[in-house]
Amino acid sequence: MPEEETPAVPAGPGSPAPADAPRTAVVIPAAGRGVRLGRGAPKALRPLGGIPMLVHAVRAVARARTVRLVVVVAPPDGAAAVRTILDEHPLPDSAGATDVVVVTGGATRQESVARGLGVLTDDVDVVLVHDAARPLVPAETVEAVVAAVRDGAPAVVPALPVTDTVKQVASPPGGAAGAPEPVVATPERSLLRAVQTPQGFDRDTLLKAHAQAPAEGEGATDDAGLVERMGVPVVLVPGHEEAFKVTRPLDLVLAEAVLARRRATDGF
Ligand SMILES: Nc1ccn([C@@H]2O[C@H](COP(=O)(O)OP(=O)(O)OP(=O)(O)O)[C@@H](O)[C@H]2O)c(=O)n1
Ligand SMILES: C[C@](O)(CO)[C@H](O)COP(=O)(O)O
């Protein structure tokens, strides 16, 4: 697929697809509560360096030269608040002409992503899905994913080698918290990868995977998992340590430290 050069145009539910519509889009699911982070506002709206985490995530993907449309999937009761926050924190000029639209999410990440996909115009041919909870992903990682899709891979995932030894247990935890769990296997660590976002897809492949997903029963924990189920090849590209997900309180401490270092060294 050719590199895109088209300028951004407004996009949204029901809007016509103009001739110069965006062609690389990023869907940012941001509708989760952040239960593992602890009590407070929805995770995407919690401050990181004094700015909502979601704003960092939107800026991070918009910084990538090829991205021309960002679809933010807001908590079901929070679309208006998210729109206000994004308007109060506009993209820097360096992001170019990137349009940002907001839709409401669903009960699961998979449902939220599907809702975001529902507002893409026909002109979008490459779609990335990026967690709002990964606010510090470098633009280079985003660009690498886009480039791999445009080089012909239908599904591309940034990933890092696993550093801990991983044990497999008999079944999902059902007993009392902290109760001993029997180990059934130790997977070969050199063959394991921890996957990140943004995950990038040929648009038709991702739409098909999500269309088939509800009929498949149990949801996947990432979008590439849905594509794998269709038998479509998924490839990995190098992820980045700073693309980590803010899941638990210690992750937020790390994110604050990384951001403080960037601000001190890069004026970020
Ligand atoms: N119903 C949901 C659940 C999750 N997400 C989004 O999916 C991303 C990855 O999910 P995760 O980090 O697990 O977020 P939460 O679901 O909010 O976390 P928790 O499981 O701790 O509640 C987040 O950006 C989150 O906002 C979403 O859009 N809609
Ligand atoms: C998509 C993801 O971030 C890839 O690592 C991850 O699978 C999301 O899972 P979670 O259960 O929502 O944290």
The arithmetic mean of pLDDT across residues 47-69, rounded, is: 95
pLDDT tens track for 103-126: 999 999 999 999 999 999 889 999
The arithmetic mean of pLDDT across residues 223-236, rounded, is: 97
Q: What are the residues facing 25 on neighbouring strands? A: 69, 127
**Residue 169: how many CA atoms within 13 Å on its side-chain side?**
9
Q: For the chain, which residues make up each domain, given as ranges?
A: 24-159+194-266
The minimum-distance atom of ligand 1 relative to the CA of 73 is: 28
User: How far is ligand 2, taken at its centre, from the CA of residue 263, in Å?
Assistant: 27
Pick from 136, 241, 146, 122: nearest CA to 199? 146
Q: Is ligand 1 within 6 A of the CB of residue 133?
A: yes
The arithmetic mean of pLDDT across residues 234-238, rounded, is: 98
The pLDDT, as a whole number, for residue 176 is 76
Q: Which of 28, 37, 131 to mutate to test the pocket of ligand 2 (most atoms within 8 A of CB)?
A: 131
The arithmetic mean of pLDDT across residues 34-39, rounded, is: 95
Q: What is the ipTM of this complex?
A: 0.97
The pLDDT, as a whole number, for residue 173 is 65
The sign of the dihedral angle between the CA atoms of 1, 236, 207, 112 is negative
User: How far is ligand 2, taken at its centre, from the CA of residue 21, in Å?
Assistant: 30
The pLDDT, as a whole number, for residue 19 is 47
The minimum-distance atom of ligand 2 relative to the CA of 221 is: 7
Counting residues of the chain whose pLDDT is more than 90, the rounded percentage is 78
The pLDDT, as a whole number, for residue 107 is 94
What is the CATH T-level fold of the domain 24-159+194-266, as seen in this structure?
Answer: Spore Coat Polysaccharide Biosynthesis Protein SpsA; Chain A (3.90.550)
Q: Is ligand 1 within 6 A of the CB of residue 115?
A: no
